[in-house]
Chains A and B, each alone.
Chain A
Amino acid sequence: MTSGNARVIKARTLLLLALLGCQPAQAGEWDLDTLGQALSAAATPDPIAFTESRQLPYLSEPLVQTGTLLRPSPERLEKHVITPAREDFIIDGGQVTVIRADGGRLDLSIHDNPLLLALAYGLRGVLNGDMDGLQRAFTPALDGTAEDWTLILYPDDESLREAIHSVRVQGQNGQVQTIAIEETGGGGATLTLGTAAP
């Protein structure tokens, strides 16, 4: 509630500063609102290369996937896996679609599974800088400076807390570098975002 007001004030300040021909002082405050603004300002419809490493207690080494992320609109997030096997993972609103290389198709809702919900809100929220959306599912804690920040998301939902411990997002200014999901059973996944793929 207060963040909403704070955001309005912040936006006015920005506007004022912009009118005065000044750059907003990055060295000043670094909080969720400024992070959100920086992230949404940097949000791009261009493909972003990623590497995802999945660790589970029964795996001797992580499973690695590579591919591209695409955000055609704030509601939609497409994850196109290229290696080791092609897979399209699309979150659009509340709908989750998985299309496998063999043509197999899975239609799910983010509500079908708490992990899917965490993934959708976490990934989409972070990449779009949608702090309000993030706070619908998580309690965030921000640490560090604008040049090197860490955002830790703790799940609010009971069933989600049983599945994951936290989501740890690291970045520089508006650029997200890694998103690490830490699972309660000892497993986890780390998504490393690279530069835009050709």
Chain B
Amino acid sequence: MIFRPQTWRLMIVLIVLAALTTLLVNRINVRTDLSFFLPGAEDPQSALLVDRLQDGAASSIVMISLSGGPAEALRDGSLAVARSLRDSALFTTVETGAVGTVTPQLLGSLWDRRYILSPALDAGAFTADQLRADLQAGLNRLAGAEGWVMRDLFPADPTGRLTTLLASLQGTTGPQRRNGLWMSADGTRALLVARSRAGGLDLPAQIQVASAIDAALAPVRASGLIAEASGPGLIAARTSGRMRAETTTISVIASAGVAILLLWAFRSVPVLVLLGLPIGAAILAGTAVVQMTFGSVHAVALSFGATLIGVAIDYPLHLLAHRHPSESAADTVRRLARPLALSTLTTLAGFTVLSLVSFPGLAQLGLFAAVGIVVAALTTALVLPALTPPTLHLRVTGFGVRLWALLHSGRYIAGAVVLGLVTLALLTGQPRWQTNLAALSALPPAARDLDARLRHDLGVADARILLIVRGDDADTVLARQETLRPALNAMLADGRVGGIEMAADLLPSRAAQKARQARLPDAETLASRLTEATAGLPLRPSALAPFQIAIATEKEAPPLTVETLSGPAALRIEALLKPERGGWSGLVLPSAVADPEALRALAENAGPHVTFLDLKAEAETLASRYLDEALAWLGWGGLAATLVVGIGLRHPVRIVRTLAPASAAIAATIAILVLSGTPLSLFHVLALVLVAGLGIDYAVFFSEYSSSNHDSAVSVRAILLCAATTVTVFSTLALSDAPVLHAIGLTVAVGASLALALTLAFSAADSKGASTSP
């Protein structure tokens, strides 16, 4: 079999492309975390937010509930899940509410330093009278049910210091315990809380966490119980998995749809390769340039950028569709050079402006699309003609021309409809802007409900408000947190805040530890007071020797530090106190906040080392800044595109003819979105830019060829095909239940259809004349 030269060249180009792809795949660094949505680190408040979102105590939480079985089955299930999660070593803590046997070994510092760590140790704690009262109370407890649990600890801790300490750490707002487990208020669900070692937004680690949780829950589910889990990290991991699966399905369906359309239009298989070539080259080049510029490529930029390049498939389509039967592909390129350049430059103008914005995610996207558009256009103009077989032609049907004639005769109706929609939207609708970052994510409502229910059951606050205390070292942070204590206690007392969690409660500052040590009596004093206090109590003379040793040891012990702290306190403090660039930072996590302003005021009065952070408000501010910037960019991009069209066409009527259909299509699309009550987000804005690019593309090609009737008929077919491919792809995207993909798909499908219809309706050429041509 002898191949045509075009086929040989095509094979060489494909091999080169494949080689470049292989080369690139090993070098690009694709990021899938949420950093796309976050601003750069130059703004300190935003940097703080990003840091907290990515690595906060709140984001590492995993909540699990088991239900649908008798109490014993829930208990067994809960303990089995906890065991499995602990074995995975991915979690700092896994709690079921079960107390278990309390042993000094398990408690670590909480036992060894119980007198230094427990807060209420006033000067009177070791007088003979107080000791006697505490010992009597201890003996009463020893005689009762608790005696069975504290039997062995009594001689070393006769005043129940450990119980006080554990109770103060337990907090007040935890879930209720039943059958020794945390249960929901209605008693049907056993609850567990785990904290992953990795931050909630560390996606690769959270995917591991999610699979550990699935593995732990699988046997419980197999035994017939209902097991549910939620948490920020888990949601992120599941969303990313779901998005990936859905994106794959959508790409397959859309590609198949486009392929069928093209096969029908050209009755040729190689056409698919030819049309795919500029797109492939565009994605390749876009990825490479973004990787070189930013050091990594964000998955959102990659996938959404690829959709934006979708406008580039129009270039090779124009080339193939506009070719006269007798013409060589190179001649067609020469003939199409002007509109192709104009269309490319207008689209490029928009994306170049986008690449200059301050959000790295948007900038990546803009750069990716701009590079892609240029490469697609250049590939079409320079490479494609050499590869196009001379026999390849668009199938000629009368449909396009008939549609054109129909739209043209109904142009006043079309104009009236657009005008009506816009007027109606202006009169009745108020555009709502989506500033909730969470709503931009692909979280299905059911997952959001589950999360809210588990948080309610467990009394876990959706930690949106927190204070950050900074210092040069860990001890300074702890000391600064201690100075906040009186004010926080006042807020706890009158209910403005339900609970407080902070590192200083787990580990007092050195100064506080020293003060507490000073209050501990020396050995002789304690011995004499004990003699007095125990007179008449049923204790053997040496019964409390372990107590005396414990006090003496703690009085002389070197101060506990973050490094030497051990046991549960050490695990809990990990998430609350961390080294950061140039110092340490500690979180103060309030729960059940009734008065956020009081906390803000507290932080402001406390000086520069204490920062108040309202994560939700911060994130909303961020989202609206994002949106504002995108809107401003839309304005500048529009202006730049108008300028390009103006310079390119230089004729006022033609300029208006070219810009009007796209502008009207955008206005009508916005009107439809507003009238349907859809809150507009960043992604709608981006989709509208794509609509603008497509609309101008249609108009440029159409107005360039309105001179001769034959060319008009060809052009109608070409832009119809372009629009058909676009609408096929984006309608498929609109079927997605991920809010982002749905928004883009619907907006572009509607916008592109409108742009096409308006271009045809208001064309200068006479459609009746065209319909009579062969």
Residues of A in contact with B (beta carbons under 8 Å apart): 52, 54, 56-65, 79, 81, 84-85, 87, 89, 93-96, 98, 100, 106-116, 119, 159, 183, 185, 187
Contact A108–B180 (Cβ < 8 Å): yes
Contact B98–A113 (Cβ < 8 Å): no
Contact B178–A59 (Cβ < 8 Å): no
A58 and B180 in contact (CB under 8 A), knowing A64-B143, A81-B144, A93-B71?
no
Q: Which residue of A lies closest to B101 (CB)?
A: A113
Q: Which residue of B lies closest to A187 (CB)?
A: B151
Is B154 among interface residues, defined by CB-CB distance under 8 A? yes
CA separation between A81 and B148, bound complex, in Å? Answer: 15
Q: Of B144, B180, B539, B540, which is within 8 A of A109 by CB? A: B180
Residues of A within 8 A of B75 (CB): 94, 109, 111
CA separation between A85 and B137, bound complex, in Å? Answer: 9
CA separation between A109 and B96, bound complex, in Å? Answer: 12
Interface pairs (21), CB distance under 8 Å: A56-B142, A56-B151, A58-B539, A58-B543, A63-B147, A79-B145, A81-B144, A89-B144, A94-B72, A108-B99, A108-B180, A110-B180, A112-B100, A112-B180, A113-B99, A113-B101, A113-B149, A115-B151, A119-B148, A159-B101, A185-B152
CA separation between A49 and B674, bound complex, in Å? Answer: 77
Contact B98–A109 (Cβ < 8 Å): yes
**Nearest chain B CB to A181's CB is how many angstroms away?**
9
A63 and B538 in contact (CB under 8 A), knowing A84-B143, A93-B179, A96-B180?
yes
Q: Which residue of A lies closest to B155 (CB)?
A: A58
CA separation between A3 and B167, bound complex, in Å? Answer: 46
Is B525 among interface residues, defined by CB-CB distance under 8 A? no
Residues of B in contact with A (beta carbons under 8 Å apart): 71-72, 75, 98-101, 137, 139-149, 151-152, 154-155, 176-181, 538-540, 542-543
Residues of B within 8 A of A119 (CB): 148
Contact B154–A115 (Cβ < 8 Å): no
A113 and B144 in contact (CB under 8 A), knowing A58-B543, A95-B179, A108-B180?
no
Q: Of A59, A100, A111, which is within 8 A of B538 by CB? A: A59
Q: Of B72, B98, B176, which is within 8 A of A112 by CB? A: B98
Nearest 10 pairs of A and B residues by beta carbon: A109-B180, A58-B543, A63-B143, A107-B177, A115-B148, A89-B145, A85-B140, A61-B538, A95-B179, A87-B144
Contact B98–A111 (Cβ < 8 Å): yes
**Nearest chain A CB to B322's CB is how many angstroms away?**
79
Q: Of A65, A111, A185, which is within 8 A of B180 by CB? A: A111
A60 and B539 in contact (CB under 8 A), knowing A54-B143, A113-B148, A115-B149?
yes
Tell me how many residue pairs across A and B have CB atoms closer than 8 Å. 106
Q: Which residue of B lies closest to A159 (CB)?
A: B101
CA separation between A12 and B370, bound complex, in Å? Answer: 93
**Nearest chain B CB to A58's CB is how many angstroms away?**
4
With A58-B540, A62-B538, A107-B177 given, name 8 new contacts (CB 8 A): A57-B540, A60-B540, A65-B143, A107-B176, A109-B98, A111-B180, A113-B101, A187-B151
Contact A106–B146 (Cβ < 8 Å): yes
A84 and B142 in contact (CB under 8 A), knowing A59-B539, A62-B538?
no
**Nearest chain B CB to A156's CB is how many angstroms away?**
18
> Residue among A58, A112, A183 with the most chain B CB within 10 A?
A58
Residues of A within 8 A of B142 (CB): 54, 56, 63
> Residue among A62, A79, A112 with the most chain B CB within 10 A?
A112
CA separation between A53 and B80, bound complex, in Å? Answer: 38
CA separation between A56 and B181, bound complex, in Å? Answer: 30
Residues of A within 8 A of B141 (CB): 100
CA separation between A107 and B145, bound complex, in Å? Answer: 11
Contact B100–A94 (Cβ < 8 Å): no
Residues of B within 8 A of A64 (CB): 143
Contact B145–A96 (Cβ < 8 Å): yes
Residues of B within 8 A of A60 (CB): 538-540, 543
CA separation between A59 and B540, bound complex, in Å? Answer: 5
CA separation between A52 and B140, bound complex, in Å? Answer: 12
Q: Which residue of A lies closest to B152 (CB)?
A: A185
Residues of A within 8 A of B148 (CB): 113, 115-116, 119
**Nearest chain A CB to B631's CB is how many angstroms away?**
56
Contact B179–A94 (Cβ < 8 Å): yes
Residues of B within 8 A of A187 (CB): 151
A84 and B140 in contact (CB under 8 A), knowing A58-B539, A63-B538?
yes
Contact A107–B178 (Cβ < 8 Å): yes
CA separation between A108 and B543, bound complex, in Å? Answer: 28
Q: Which residue of B lies closest to A164 (CB)?
A: B148
Q: Which residue of A lies closest to B140 (CB)?
A: A85
A94 and B155 in contact (CB under 8 A), knowing A58-B540, A115-B149?
no
